[in-house]
A and B are shown apart, each in its own frame.
Chain A
Amino acid sequence: MKNQLRSFLLGFSSFLLVWWWLSVITDNRSLPSPFPTFKRMWELKDVLFLHAGASLMRIFVALTIAVLVGLPAGILLGKYSKANQLFGPLLYFLYPLPKVAFLPIFMIFFGLGNLSKILLIFSVISIQVIVSIRDGVNEIPESYYQVMDNYSTKIWPSVRFLIFPALIPSLIASLRVSVGISLASLFFAENYNTTYGLGYLILSAWSKMDYEQMLSGILMIAWIGFFVFTVLDELERRFCRYR
């Protein structure tokens, strides 16, 4: 935890330095320096937390569903070659597609509220998770399954004692990649038909030319990203002690 705090302070202070330096050399009110921005953040703290809470909730729900769906689906594709032959090509077709382009379709089918935004982020993350988990399953040495056959030929003991623990590093790595993409998708999704969320806050501040508020929203997104990364690091430290 000490290391994480040190890395946060180091990262944040270098970010502040670059930001301050850019604000000085550009000398443009659309890029205010860090200090008036922090002052504005303090004034807006209640509103900011409300918007950040809404964004965090959408990311958390989408990540949870993506893991709940992606983990068994990835295991299925990795473990059963017929399932992979059937769905693998579809996965590769969907993987490079920019899922954000589907936002209008999600809105038509799932409404303008939270559901369509969560589903959009879910669609972005889940394919990433499925591919990583499937590849993770393929990396488990075949000989390890024979160890499990020593004790039971049923699938559940293998899933519990072999597949799940072997996949934790792949899962965490895929979630790390997914968090960055999901924050970007969230920013996009929160620009439409919503009054809560950091994406909305940033764009509405921009239209009001309240640049301090706009940068406050950007800073909040960075903090959310850092928070989620820290949680993932902690999970990795706890569950992958052997590494």
Chain B
Amino acid sequence: MRRTLRDRIQQFLAFASLIVIFGFFSIVSPNFFNYGNVTNILFSTVVIGLLALGTTFVIITGGIDLSIGTGMALCAVISGVLIVDLGVPLPLGVLGAILFGGLIGLVNGMNVAILGLPPFIATLAMMLVAQGLALVVSNSTPIYFDQTPAYIDLSIGSLIPGTDFPNAVLILALAAVVAGVLLNRTVLGRYTYSIGSNEEATALSGIDVRRWKIIIYTLAGLFTGLAGVMISARLGSAQPATGMGYELQAIAAVVIGGTSLSGGKGSIVGTVIGALIISVLNNGLQIMSIPQEWQNVILGAVILLAVYADMARKRAR
């Protein structure tokens, strides 16, 4: 909420790291910096990016949402059931899947805000429930969207005439703008920061913290639903067994972007940069044919250092 110089610098540094990493790969590999590959990088950011956007709100409140990965798989399955099995018109099916994500978030929010469960436990339980339900609802088999190519085009089609620039990237950009406006320009965003900075003080000032927490988790769920639509569109299929581990990558993106896990601080721009840093690293290391074991070591080191930077900032206050 308060944009101090310090926050600006943190964000600038994250952005500068992104540029440095990007520049490095451009120099060392002739196959890195070209239209096709940069498009690949943006495209591979979409799913993690959407999950990270939603979960940024939750993390700023000082909470965590572990259910977004498998929740995404469940929403993908719901989308498949609606569109393929039940023949619901495409826009309604997509809307249904997104709203179902909201429902998952609503349950998370109620468990956290009303029952008072720790967010880690409440969403850990939901992670398992969603993983199981995705398998149950789909009968453990992928649901294919072969008969609805328009659905697949939501991800890999292109609205920009004369190019193959994927729609998924445009949707991520739009979602980031919406998230940014919500966080910076609305009362929802103000309360998100306020709850994360000092929950008690927020409650004492007459704000219904419970209600706003439920709304924030529900919002994260809506992003989860959209991520479910986008991953199933990209894969041309709803894959019930996928999703586990995506929550951690999304959380990593948020943290690399400078959002504090102890709440009260963070930004959408940071999260977008964090997600981009992860996908640029993944892409660049793969393009360079770095042995895969080392790719994970490097990613881990980056996360450690990003969190260290966050802690150093906090000690400085």
- Please determine whether chains A and B interact with each other in the same assembly: no
Chain A interface (Cβ within 8 Å of chain B)?
Answer: none
Chain B interface (Cβ within 8 Å of chain A)?
Answer: none
